[in-house]
Amino acid sequence: MVLEFRRYRDGDEVGIVETMNSAFETFRQWGLTSDIWLELTRRDYGFRRDLALVAEENGKIVGHVQLVLRKLRYGCAVFTTGGIANVSTRPEHRGRGIATRLMSLAVETCREEGIPISSLWTGFLSPAHHIYRKLGYVDTFSPYSFGAHLLEVKEALKLLGGNGVEVRELQSADLDEIRKIYALFTEGWIGPGVRDVEYVRNKFTDKQFYHTFFYDEPENFVRLVSVDGGKVTGYVIAAFGGKLSRRYGDPYAGSVLEAIALDEKSLRCLMQSALQELLEAGAKKVWVNAPDIPLYRRLLPEFRKVGGQGTYMDKIIDLPALLEQVKNELERRLIERGVSVSTSIKLAVDSGSAALKIEDDSITVSREDSSPSCISLSDRNFLKMFYGVESFEELLQRRAVRSLKLASGMELEILSTLFPKNLFYVWPLDHW
Ligand SMILES: CC(C)(COP(=O)(O)OP(=O)(O)OC[C@H]1O[C@@H](n2cnc3c(N)ncnc32)[C@H](O)[C@@H]1OP(=O)(O)O)[C@@H](O)C(=O)NCCC(=O)NCCS
């Protein structure tokens, strides 16, 4: 029996979908078919057939991994991650190293495609987590959402709302406006998916996507916009599990998938209308997907932040290429702080190294490593610092920096400026 590990070939979708359905209850219940799988590859720029990896044995697909490209914001820059999705081995073929070899192929494919980092969501300490750790993926971020029992949701409703803002159904003519509102709202953040016109049209029009590859009919969702002074100021997308035509998740739960507005008054009105509609539909509990920022905390004081058992993991594929992609944002940080020097700092991590040559406020990233200053970190701590989950200063304080050799005191200020604390968040719609 010869196992072959390779990229997609025409017709593989049948075996891929069988494998996915054998491994994931969610896909089975939701009703994934090979036609839908093919359709997904047309709806999402990142979901490409040539990035579907399979393990084949005697003409049968027995394992699968999908590499999904995601353009994520990094302040004013954008970087591309090779998202890992749908890792699956048919139950009767497990424990033979198939997923491990497919994941190695995924990493190799990222290298071939020039993708500098690979990222995924999984259950902390799950069997898959073990495979990812073995291959050098590290835990960088703990995902969370905000939850409340319906009694607390009723309390929250009393505090929400506001005058002067009209809330009405979302129409397809609003899509470009809400795309712009999303872009403005998430400006400067780390993590939000970059959404162009086509992406938004594909994910919001005849199908409403809500999480990774899952969608339902738009009329089964709460889809509202706020209008103030004749202008659309925000939107909310929410779903009640019991109303979806395709089964997914908890049928008693309501979830607010995205509530975004340009001002707090609009957001209060949108949140009130969405929560109200979810309760009227029969929700016994509500999850709100939102970043942990004061704005949402003010709106939902009765909701509890719940971390669950999930973890976000990354593997650095090519450190200099990653830094090159986000260089503009690093330069912007130097300019904002008024740091203007001439120096070079080597960043050394487990998976490689890169040198940042700083000339006034411009940065050149190189692979040479003769810099007089050097900071050495684990991949995990570097990535936390990269995302701003922890600042350079915090890492230093908790002795997470392995070694630090500085030519002068100036480099300390540069590192603090380049890697401050930040908000990292990816909305469920852009998950993979
Ligand atoms: C996760 C999954 C893809 C693994 O497939 P597989 O082909 O059996 O994986 P491999 O044989 O390459 O590796 C399995 C590894 O997990 C380890 N493992 C198995 N069960 C484990 C557990 N409960 N906890 C920790 N490790 C476990 C095995 O010992 C092996 O590690 P080793 O090679 O160091 O001994 C498969 O179980 C599956 O399809 N699960 C359902 C779908 C899923 O959960 N996908 C991941 C979503 S993020």
Over residues 14-43, the pLDDT tens digits come to 999 999 999 999 999 999 999 999 999 999
For the chain, the 3-state helix, strand and coil shares in percent, each to the nearest 5, are 35, 35, 30
Q: Rounded to 10 degrees, what is the CA torsion of 173, 175, 178, 183?
A: -140
C-alpha R_g of the chain? 23
CA atoms within 13 A on the CB side of 179: 18
- Ligand 1 atom showing the smallest separation from residue 128 Cα: 1
Q: What is the reported pLDDT for 1?
A: 75
- Ligand 1 atom showing the smallest separation from residue 123 Cα: 48
- Ligand 1 atom showing the smallest separation from residue 88 Cα: 39
In whole angstroms, how far apart are CA 398 and each of 94, 264, 266, 273, 404? 40, 36, 41, 44, 14
CA–CA distance, 278 with 305 (Å, rounded to integer):
19
CA of 88 to the centre of ligand 1 (A): 9
CA of 432 to the centre of ligand 1 (A): 19
CA of 144 to the centre of ligand 1 (A): 24
Cβ–Cβ under 8 Å, residues 395 and 163: no
Structural domains of the chain, with CATH: 3-141 (3.40.630.30), 145-306 (3.40.630.30), 318-418 (3.30.1050.10)
Within 265-366, strands assigned E span 285-288, 304-306, 310-316, 341-349, 352-360, 362-366
Over residues 56-108, the pLDDT tens digits come to 999 999 999 999 999 999 999 999 999 999 999 999 999 999 999 999 999 99
Q: Vertex 271, ends 270 and 276: CA angle to 5°?
A: 100
Over residues 239-270, the pLDDT tens digits come to 999 999 998 889 999 999 999 999 999 999 99
- Ligand 1 atom showing the smallest separation from residue 134 Cα: 34
CA–CA distance, 312 with 319 (Å, rounded to integer):
19
List Cβ neighbours of 196 (8 Å cut-off, separation of 6 or more).
Answer: 179
Residue nearest to atom 47 of ligand 1 (CA): 87
CA of 308 to the centre of ligand 1 (A): 20
> Which protein residues touch ligand 1 with a CB less than 6 Å away?
23-24, 63, 87-89, 94-100, 122, 127-128, 130-131, 134
Over residues 160-169, the pLDDT tens digits come to 988 889 999 9
CA of 25 to the centre of ligand 1 (A): 16
Tokens of 53: 């990896």
Question: Coil, strand, or helix at residue 19?
Answer: helix
CA of 3 to the centre of ligand 1 (A): 17
